[in-house]
Amino acid sequence: MNKNPFDTFVIGARKGFQIGINNLLPNVLMAYTISEILKLLGVMEFIGKVFGPFMGIFGLPGEAITVLLTAWLSSSAGAGIAVNLYASGGISNTQATILLPAIFLMGAQLQYMGRLLGVADVPKKYWPALFVTSIVNSLIAMFILKIFA
Amino acid sequence: MPEKNTIDSQTDEKKALLTGKIHVPISGYIALIVAIIFFSGLLMNIAGMKWISAFDFTSLIGAFGTMKEPAKNSFVGDGGYSARAGFLFALSLIPTTMLALGFLEILTSYGAMKAGQRLLSPILKPLLGIPGFTGLTLITDLQSTDAGAALTKELYDDELITKKELIIMGSWQFSGAGAINNYFSIGSALFAFLTVPLIVPLFIIIIMKFVGAFFIRILLNTVYKEDFKHE
């Protein structure tokens, strides 16, 4: 170890700032705008009705599926949609807690397909199994938190 | 495409631009019309058709929150929506992200991750059927998806792990990739609303990584057994 902890902290904080500006901010801005479009078009209400029974298994309203669908493309955007839903009264504190691990367990899979499975040369034949496993992981995590949160 | 062709097509494009003889695909005209309508503001206030403002730039900019209760509201305000609200909200998260990653950096420099690796290694073989030394890669993945992926590839290229072990490692990393860093940077958006201690959802994520990888191990040993009979 050759740096003092203050310098080390600053290196980490700088990484945090970069992630905040380059990743979090554009994704959350997009998520908020998409939420608005879906609300204006009435899609949110429709999704809420259609997925209500399924999401009910996990103690969530139907609209919460938008969090999962978005998280699958980008974790930041998924988190943004969740916050937006919370702010508009769509989900409660408990429901936000239930969603949090799921956002990451099935998060950003489309990106990680290239960045992880592609780079590590995991044979393509097994990719579908890995996708399904991740989604099942999320569902189990939501179920666990439904009981304990 | 060979490089020479690329250069030729570039000069062709330049010539076409200079002479005004450019080929415009039909999608170009459609995009232009959409752009004009989107930015025009014409769709902003059509009586009885509020939904149509979903295609209007001015409507989608949204609004910043306001100080409805100045004693309670932060600078994000209350009642904001769409792009403007998203911007301010994301900005309000940045201190959390910076503080979390600053501390993580210090703890990592004191060897927290190495200790994690030491504790993880003995359970990998019995639980997932992968060698203990892969613990370093798995711990790395908790911080950085890309670094974990690069290390995994190296292990396989150097023939230190078999194809089956590669797939099991891949499944562990794939679900909840970069868990710790992502949790404290992106997940911080939801921290204020949690009904359980901060560590619980992160703990569940890590446990589920093992559950998923264990499931894949079983799958490879049963359904895909034939694929690995030479290993």
pLDDT of A131 above 90: yes
CA B31 to chain CA centroid, Å, is 29
pLDDT in tens, B57-107: 999 999 999 998 888 888 988 888 999 999 998 898 889 889 988 998 998
Is B23 within the bounds of a domain?
Answer: yes
Query: Residue B216 and residue B138: Cα distance in Å, rounded?
Result: 16
Is A63 within the bounds of a domain?
Answer: yes
pLDDT in tens, B168-218: 999 999 999 999 989 998 898 899 899 999 999 999 999 999 999 999 999
Is B141 within the bounds of a domain?
Answer: yes
Co-location of B49 and B115 in the same domain = no
Q: Of B60, B78, B102, which residue sits at a domain end?
A: B60
Is A140 within the bounds of a domain?
Answer: yes
Domain of residue A67: give its range: 28-148
Q: Give B190→chain A minimum CA distance, Å.
A: 7
pLDDT of residue B5: 55
Query: Residue A146 and residue A148: Cα distance in Å, rounded?
Result: 6
Is B71 within the bounds of a domain?
Answer: no
**3-class state of residue B63 by DSSP:** strand
**3-class state of residue B66 by DSSP:** strand
* pTM for this prediction: 0.81
Co-location of B135 and B209 in the same domain = yes
Query: Residue B153 and residue B164: Cα distance in Å, rounded?
Result: 13
Domain count, chain B: 2
Domain count, chain A: 1
Q: Give B69→chain A minimum CA distance, Å.
A: 16
Co-location of B46 and B118 in the same domain = no
Is A3 within the bounds of a domain?
Answer: no
Is B65 within the bounds of a domain?
Answer: no
pLDDT in tens, B140-164: 999 888 889 999 999 999 999 999 9
Is A126 within the bounds of a domain?
Answer: yes
pLDDT of residue B1: 42
Once rounded to an integer, what is the mean pLDDT over residues A39-52? 88
The alpha carbon torsion through A48, A50, A51, A54 (nearest 10 deg) reads: 140
Comparing A22-26, B30-34, B193-197, the range with the smallest average pLDDT is A22-26
Best residue in A38, A112, A148 for a mutation probing chain B (most B CBs within 10 Å):
A112
Q: Give A132→chain B minimum CA distance, Å.
A: 10
Is A13 within the bounds of a domain?
Answer: no
pLDDT of B4 above 80: no
Domain of residue B187: give its range: 111-228
Is A136 within the bounds of a domain?
Answer: yes
Q: Is the ipTM of this complex over 0.95?
A: no
Chain B nearest-CA residue for A109 = B174
Q: A93: pLDDT confidence band, cut at 50, 70 and 90?
A: very high
Is B86 within the bounds of a domain?
Answer: no
